[in-house]
Structure 1
């Protein structure tokens, strides 16, 4: 059955056609995004939801979306999506951070020109029939120092454009390497030095706990007198009240804002102040950018729904289409290892330790980790997936650690998962053979070679004669066909295990019959998703 997507905001017809061309059923109804009751009533019909800013994907909407797998935001900001609710529900949240980079960077440069030359006020004055040449004395950009707070994708483009304007550029960004700074041609500085040196300051960071009001009253006081501030990133990065006071005092010579702490901004301390340029969040408002982000979100959502490729997800590691293809068997193995331990562990788990050995250690370990944790968590909640499992693990205080190492055994690669509870540690290891099929290769430190099937039986016993006969006769008596039979032991006469791959679920009667023989220390049925 083809996946089904709802486009509830205004996206280009090109994007809608991409869904159709990829074989995805799509309903295009921009009116639904503004009608939360209608959206609530239909959302459970869809595997994907493609939106812009009008649709509010609230916790209530997400919880009602029983089939929803992915929400795609055509644009950068995801303030209209309850990401925590989506993660708990196992819904991937994607955005398109690259489609409007050029447009947003160009808007910041345009705003810098506008405030440097007081273009909006001069235009309004001229339209009013005045000719006030002496009133609108501006400043050149050439030779001035631009301070860029946040030198990521958009900030980096602004740096390049500013250098083309013959400006000197200093950048503050904790994640900016010296090599990247040199490649951009900018000087990396700390925030205080940027504030003291910059003639113009432009912000290009997301709003986080660390960046909220990064330009507060204290920071503004450290700025060079006559500075001009541009914000085309996110509202709330600048204390608007403090900036307004600095503008009134003349310490700050001008400001240009495209974003505000409260939007839509019908009132702001910055409104109606001289040499303050304001626009209604137009950073991405070009025909090219809107087309780009719409096409990108359609392609990303289609890739995920059809191939499992994850691009620009905010609550799950990205997995390229090529990775999804090559890692498929290893992701399946990760899930099976987790499922084995999850079904065998009844105590609260304190820690999950994952070892990657050999060629698998160079794969996308973040995604493989999610697969392991999801497999473990599914034992208690079948609705858990790779998105929601890490969230649940974190809520439960489970510590997850990862180790990778070069090939150290007989296999080219393997994964070993160990869980730690209050009373014990339990481990299982597996690999992927050349046929692409995952195998268990070690359980409780005992080497095995076990094919993984949908329905399995696991037993432990002391290594004594007759165990194979008891298992075979009990399965035969209960008309359970054995597809594969694997044995292993720690040492002669020591602890031994058996793993049977059978054609039907192991019944309570079979478990009881085996326990009644007195031959087994443990008897457990296991189920694996091998679809």
Structure 2
């Protein structure tokens, strides 16, 4: 039975989802790093909101952890790089609180435009300051969106309903999607120049950090209203304070801050500034939605391998998982084969999908193949960590697909270009292909030679010249070593040419066996492979 640690407060209905799916849960909130390190080794899953912080040290101790689920959008509290290296899937719930956060941004926009909090405070003090608050209409003003994704697009829909013009800066927004939303796609400088109101809806990354720097804020229109319900660190808070005091920014409303919890902040007390304590997702509906969603996602992954809303692994739906699983097994074994025979490393990897498999979700298949390939030289690598490891290594990866396969319904082929050596100054290509036959992975091509063999637990792979006497000599050597032959598969280019032997054997040969085999005049290369 999988076991999940709930590290932050979670809805009882979400906990019940785990139990109904047969997953044990333990709730321990408020754990510090040392306590989490001590606790985490026995768990398969970890649920967090924003308080629990699984950092690199926690990941190092997480010997059984398979998935971290964030009930919400932001994952600043999770060390995704360390999780990826450990092979832990990190999921969030990007849709559960999108409406709530969009509504909060609109609410702050209105509050800033009419300075409602300050007017409320003075009214309740008995001052009746009617002449002291001249507001701004938002209708027919230009709203500048920095980020037009899941939340930003919902803000756009509501702003358009308020008769606002919407200009959006988002490198990932297509022209077609902009037309569909009714927004104008612009570059950042254009947005800064034209927007009457700016609201941010992007994650905090190296690319977005300080996107509204002092320099960029100074490019904005006089009388700007600024709203941030996304992440602290996107805006230069010192610059906002200065521009509020000078009057360049008319009003600002922030729900998030560079340092949280924000018990102190340079903006606090500044006239025309409104603050809320990270309430963007704080509605009953949103908290329930994200909790239920993360429980379903984590249960699906732990029980069936379905991956939804993962930040470091391709998504696999529950419907896709059964179809993908046998091909993922094949891909992993092909990668393992290629890795084990690439003794001097490799500079390039080409993966070809032919036939029906080309129409499947290929990203998890590629991840599985790369995991098998890299495991041969790097040890503990899996589908989560493999793509990142390959990218970091600088190895070129190319992926192609072809709708038809000449012989089989589906075929996966891997080509690995090995590094140059003294004997092969240009390097060389290792080429393998496989398919699924009767539900089982089979190797059907090695170095362009057709053959059909299984992936036995221990396989003796021999590249030899097709000369009389080789098979007899090989059989005699195995017999003398006390090694039983389970399966024997042969392929060759032509009579007397290059040949391949894949021999399934019942035990690993002694240490000097390959050396003796290499000494045979027909043998070009020999290796014991394990699957």
Of residues 475, 486, 490, the one that matches 1:487 is 490
Query: 1:262 aligns to what?
Result: 259
Query: 1:447 aligns to what?
Result: 450
Of residues 145, 167, 172, the one that matches 1:170 is 167
Query: 1:26 aligns to what?
Result: 25
Of residues 419, 425, 430, the one that matches 1:427 is 430
Cα distance change, pair 328–506 in 1 and its aligned pair in 2 (3 A): farther
Q: Which moved more, 1:199-208 or 1:136-145?
A: 136-145
CA distance in 1, matches of 2:428, 2:357: 24
CA drift of 1:406 comes to 3.4
Q: Please give the residue correspondences for 1:17-416 in structure 2 after superposition, counting only pairs within 5 Å.
A: 17-31=16-30, 34-407=31-404, 409-416=406-413
CA drift of 1:238 comes to 1.2
Q: Retained in 2: the 8 A contact 1:430–1:438?
A: no
CA distance in 2, matches of 1:460, 1:431: 18
CA drift of 1:209 comes to 2.2
CA drift of 1:152 comes to 0.5
CA drift of 1:22 comes to 1.1
Offset from partner CA, 1:444-463 (integer Å, 9 cap, x none): 12111112222212112211
CA distance in 1, matches of 2:434, 2:338: 16
CA distance in 2, matches of 1:322, 1:380: 34
Equivalent pairs counted in the alignment come to 525
CA drift of 1:502 comes to 3.2
CA drift of 1:229 comes to 0.5
Instruction: Establish whether residue 526 from structure 1 lines up as the match of residue 498 from structure 2.
Output: no
CA distance in 2, matches of 1:461, 1:223: 72
CA drift of 1:510 comes to 5.4
Q: Retained in 2: the 8 A contact 1:333–1:430?
A: no
Q: Which moved more, 1:64-73 or 1:315-324?
A: 315-324
SS of the residue corresponding to residue 219 of structure 1 reads: helix
Structure 1 runs of 4+ aligned residues shifted over 6 Å read none
Q: Retained in 1: the 8 A contact 2:481–2:509?
A: no
SS of the residue corresponding to residue 521 of structure 1 reads: strand
Cα distance change, pair 192–357 in 1 and its aligned pair in 2 (3 A): same
Of residues 428, 431, 438, the one that matches 2:441 is 438
Gaps in structure 1 of 5+ consecutive residues: none
Q: Which moved more, 1:184-193 or 1:369-378?
A: 184-193
Q: Retained in 2: the 8 A contact 1:207–1:237?
A: yes
CA drift of 1:367 comes to 1.9
TM-score, scaled relative to structure 1: 0.94
Gaps in structure 2 of 5+ consecutive residues: 421-426
SS of the residue corresponding to residue 259 of structure 1 reads: coil
